[in-house]
Amino acid sequence: MKNMLWLGMILLLLSASCKDKDSHGQVDINFKSTFDATPLVMFSQIYPYYDNLNLKFQLFHMYLSDVVLIPDDATGSTTTPHTEIALISFKDVLDQSAALQGITISANKIPVGKYKAVRFGLGVAPRFNATNPGNYTPPHPLDDHYWSAMLGYVFMKIEGNSDNDGDGQFTDKLTFHIGDNSLYRTMEFPVALEVKEGQTATVNFGVDLRRVLAVGPDDFLDPRTVTQDHTSNPDLYNYLYNNLEQAVKIKQ
């Protein structure tokens, strides 16, 4: 009888400590896209740009790799993995409500505790960029957007139209498809995030498509002269990708 009591207590202790170790919460990382301050909606919405030009869009996407959270008490390189690879695509954002919802990547096995930063690679990490859709069963972020002639993924796509002659018809075409290992870079954002057992904590990001196309009124991609790039013109693709890095902002 005594033995049984001891056994019971040990079991209780064990289960309690296990439970503590195993307790998890969910972390949602949300991206909303805007054009300047206006929510980005594909097809229908007209966006005033610089020099009295107006633009419309049909596609905007970017890839993120190795999304991790950095624990508050992290020493050295301790990180908590969130998502290995994600396609953040605004292709199906076709109305205001979808724009306000944004695109979310979730992970529900994040250990409870405090986190001080979110870190990710902007683009397709080189080890993924060395693969191709043949390595994946759809649906998978890497089942598409592979450009075989360049042996790599298109990290960022922007497709849309401009109305260069101001007649109200958006007949001028814009297509920018950019991806290369040399463009891959890591970004880190400080956060004050607390993950609680069984609850969802959210980190919000914004990405301003106007900032991708332009630095400001005196320095912008001019759709009257530049209408496309297939990662062929280094000045142009570096300009756009450096801009993308600046366009991604955390909103707390």
Partner 1 sequence: MWQKMRERGREGERERFFWVLIIMLWSCNDSKLSHIPYVPTPYKLEEPANFVKMQIPPDNPFTVEGIALGERLFFDPILSIDRSISCSSCHIPNLAFTDGKAVSTGIDKRVGRRSAMSLINVGYYYKGLFWDGRVKSLEMQALMPVTDHREMGNDWKTVEDRLRRHPEYPELFRRAFGIKRAANIDRYLAAKALAQYERTLVNYNSKFDRVQRGEARFTAAEKRGWQIFFDDTLELPASECGHCHIDPLFTTLGFFNNGIEQINTLNDFHDKGRGVVTGRFVDNGKFRTPTLRNIMLTAPYMHDGRFATLDEVFDHYISGGHFADNLNPNVRKLRIREQDKKDLIAFLQTLTDSTFVNYSALDRHGSI
Count of positions on this chain that bind partner 1 (CB under 8 A): 33
**Which two tokens mark 135?**
């390595």
Q: Which of 97, 202, 233, 252 binds partner 1 (CB under 8 A)?
A: 233
DSSP β-ladder status, 47-48 and 172-178: unpaired
**Residue whose CB is less far from partner 1, 44 or 97:** 44
Min. distance of Cβ 235 from partner 1 in angstroms?
13
User: Is 132 one of the binding residues for partner 1 (CB under 8 A)?
Assistant: yes
State which of positions 145-164 bind partner 1 (CB under 8 A). Answer: 146-149, 159-161
What would the DSSP string read from start to end of 86-129? Answer: EEEE-TT--SHHHHHH-EEEEEEEEESEEEEEEEEEES--HHHH
Using CB under 8 A as the binding rule, whether residue 138 contacts partner 1 is answered as: yes
Site string for partner 1, 199-228 (x = CB under 8 A): ----------------------------xx
Residues 101-130 that bind partner 1 (CB under 8 A): none
Rounded (5°) CA angle 37-39-40: 115
SS3 at position 26: strand
**Token pair in block for residue 21:** 């170790």
* Nearest Cα residue to 162 out of 16, 56, 5: 56
Rule CB under 8 A: choose which of 175, 204, 238, 242 binds partner 1.
175
Q: Report the C-alpha gap between 131 and 138 in whole angstroms.
A: 14
SS3 of 35, please? strand
| Inter-residue contact 210 to 221 (CB < 8 Å) | no
**Nearest distance in Å: CB 149, partner 1:** 4
* Interface mask toward partner 1 for 37-76; x: CB under 8 A: -----xxx-------------x------------------
* Interacting residues toward partner 1 by CB under 8 A: 42-44, 58, 94, 132-134, 136-139, 143-144, 146-149, 159-161, 169-171, 173-175, 177, 227-228, 230, 232-233
